[in-house]
């Protein structure tokens, strides 16, 4: 396939079957390989969509500075697109975020502002909102509330799945900004409403939930619970176990969050099998495992990996 | 008897316990039983007849908002997890004191 530039090659990712992990000929699992996007994650879709929407409505002009609270894939994706399009990017990320992510962001030309580690991503969002108020000339795209995030999946991810797998019965994705699930869920509600939308939500160690009071909690502005049908909480032990199964059984090397998504997909497969229903379950491989090698998830016993992930926002 | 995991922020109500036992056939009954033994906790979990916006309750890892809400059935050896809603994203907060 030929494209005019790297940015033009975002999306149109492969959908591959899982012949070994699928429980039967009637209950099949399919992986949407979003790690094959240009910077290696599904966030390339949201980043490109948010920048193009801001260009289209005049919010972003050449030479502008983009501000975003992110410590992971969205920042890397935004940095790549921003560099190609001539924007500056400032990422607000919790201090002491892993060295790989800082190196990648810096390579693609992003500037990093640190937020206190203790509050995790909640705190990064709070700091970014404060900076946006102080610097009205900085353009915050705000992935947690930007409809263009969900639209990337409404226009791209979901129609690609339906074209490749018209018999799809379930979609399983990760719940973070909620953009993937809101976009895919919205598309299928309109075009094939019998498709069940299943969310896999990472459950972290206790420190991550260490708020001072419950009112500091956070639900992304994009989130609409009517667009999903089930929501599973998946801890690090199950996520690591599944990510290892995925590489052992199918040769797919995925990031830890994909293990959580696969765990929910396999739970659905088991339910369908027991009920005697036909099922074609599509799940997202959100990124590859490369950026997480230093977390300890890919070596040693499950106990060791679980200990290593304690206190980390691993998805 | 179900096991209920209590988030840090609500442990003042359970004398610091991370997990407590509760009886009940539904989530609503479990919460009433929690309240009987840990007075004040119910008001932190519920806003009227609904779960508070920033509180998530899971029975055997499934969010009760999609399984019947407070009427969700709780099995004999169910595991119930209560968590505050937090932002996603991939940050390493090890320096906040987490064991590595």
Q: Name every residue whose Cβ is closer than 8 Å to that of residue A33 and which is 6 or more positions away in sequence.
A: A13, A14, A15, A16, A252, A285
pLDDT of residue A261: 98
Q: Which CATH class is domain A7-37+157-309?
A: alpha beta
Fold of the domain spanning A43-140: Rossmann fold (3.40.50)
Does domain B2-86 match CATH 3.40.50.720? no
Structure tokens at A49: 């969509």
Q: Could you tell me if A243 and A249 are in contact, meaning their C-beta atoms sit under 8 angstroms apart?
A: no
| Mean pLDDT in residue range A169-181 | 96
What does pLDDT average to in each consecutive run of 10 residues of chain B (100 residues)?
A: 94 96 97 97 94 95 96 95 75 33
Structure tokens at A32: 């949407």
pLDDT digits (tens, 9 = 90+) for A196-216: 999 999 998 777 777 777 877
Which alpha helices (DSSP H) does A143-178 contain, by range? Answer: 147-152, 158-164
Q: Which of B44, B55, B61 faces A232 most closely, judged by CB atoms? A: B61
The one-character DSSP state at A254 is: B
Which of A59-73, A150-164, A273-287 bottoms out in mean pLDDT, i.e. has the lowest?
Answer: A59-73
**Could you tell me the pTM of the whole model?**
0.93
pLDDT digits (tens, 9 = 90+) for A270-297: 999 999 999 999 999 999 999 899 888 9
Measured from the Cβ of residue B32, the count of other Cβ atoms closer than 10 Å reads 14
Which of A95-99, A131-135, A179-183, A285-289 bottoms out in mean pLDDT, i.e. has the lowest?
Answer: A95-99
β pairing state of B50-51 and B46-47: antiparallel
Q: Chain A partners of B7 at a C-beta cutoff of 8 Å? A: 206, 209
Best of A121, A220, A297 to substitute, by most chain B Cβ atoms within 10 angstroms, is A121
Please tell me whether residue A54 adopts helix, strand or coil conformation: helix
Choose among A233, A231, A236, A261: nearest CA to A246: A261
Q: Could you tell me if A30 and A282 are in contact, meaning their C-beta atoms sit under 8 angstroms apart?
A: yes
pLDDT of residue B91: 37
| Distance from the Cα of residue A157 to its chain's centroid | 12
Q: Could you tell me if B5 and B19 are in contact, meaning their C-beta atoms sit under 8 angstroms apart?
A: yes
Residues of B with CB under 8 A from a CB of A: 7-9, 44, 52-56, 58, 61-63, 65-67, 81, 83-100
Structure tokens at A97: 């975020």
- Apex CA A201: angle with CA A200 and CA A204, to 5°? 140
Q: Can you give the residue ranges of every domain in chain B?
A: 2-86
Distances (CA, A) of A10 to A5, A46, A77: 10, 10, 10
CB contact under 8 A, B92 and A232: no
Structure tokens at A250: 């199918």
Kindly tell me if the per-residue pLDDT of A147 is higher than 60.
yes
Kindly tell me if the per-residue pLDDT of A164 is higher than 90.
yes
Give every strand in the sheet of A111-115, ordered side by side. A111-115, A88-94, A65-69, A138-140
ipTM of the complex: 0.90
Give start-end residues of each CATH 3.40.50.1100 domain in chain A. 7-37+157-309, 43-140
């Amino acid at each position: 396939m030929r494209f005019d530039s790297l940015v033009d090659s975002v999306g149109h990712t492969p959908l591959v079957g899982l012949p070994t992990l699928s429980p039967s000929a009637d209950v099949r699992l399919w992986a949407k390989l979003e790690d094959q996007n240009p910077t290696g994650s599904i966030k390339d879709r949201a980043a490109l969509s948010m920048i193009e929407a801001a260009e289209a409505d005049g919010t972003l002009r050449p030479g502008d500075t983009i501000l975003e609270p992110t410590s992971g894939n969205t920042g890397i994706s935004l940095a790549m697109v921003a560099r190609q399009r001539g924007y500056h990017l400032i990422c607000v990320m919790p201090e002491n975020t892993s060295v790989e992510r800082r190196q990648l962001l810096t390579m693609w030309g992003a500037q990093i502002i640190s937020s206190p580690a203790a509050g995790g991503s909640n705190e990064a969002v709070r700091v970014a909102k404060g900076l946006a108020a102080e610097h009205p000339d900085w353009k915050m795209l705000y992935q947690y509330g930007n409809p263009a995030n969900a639209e990337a999946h409404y226009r791209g991810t979901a129609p690609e799945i339906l074209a490749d797998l018209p018999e799809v019965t379930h979609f399983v994705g990760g719940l973070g900004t909620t953009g993937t699930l809101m976009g895919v869920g919205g598309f299928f509600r309109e075009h094939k409403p019998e498709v069940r939308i299943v969310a896999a939500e990472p459950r972290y160690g206790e420190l991550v939930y260490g708020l001072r009071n419950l009112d500091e909690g956070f639900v992304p502005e994009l989130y609409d619970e009517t667009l999903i049908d089930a929501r599973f909480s998946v801890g690090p032990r199950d996520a690591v176990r599944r990510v290892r199964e995925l590489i052992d059984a199918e040769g797919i090397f995925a990031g830890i969050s994909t293990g959580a998504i696969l765990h929910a997909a396999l739970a659905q497969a088991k339910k369908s099998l027991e009920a005697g229903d036909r099922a074609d379950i599509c799940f997202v491989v959100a990124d590859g495992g490369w950026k997480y090698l230093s977390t300890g998830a890919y070596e040693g016993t499950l106990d060791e990996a679980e200990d290593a992930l304690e206190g980390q926002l691993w998805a | 008897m179900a096991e209920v995991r209590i988030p840090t922020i609500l442990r003042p109500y359970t004398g610091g316990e991370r997990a407590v036992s509760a009886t009940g056939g539904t989530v609503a009954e479990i919460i009433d039983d929690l309240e009987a033994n840990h007075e004040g906790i119910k008001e932190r979990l519920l806003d009227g007849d609904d779960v508070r916006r920033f509180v998530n309750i899971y029975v055997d890892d499934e969010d009760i908002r999609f399984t019947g809400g407070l009427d969700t059935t709780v099995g004999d050896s169910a595991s119930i997890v209560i968590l505050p809603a937090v932002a996603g994203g991939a940050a390493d907060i090890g320096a906040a004191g987490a064991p590595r």
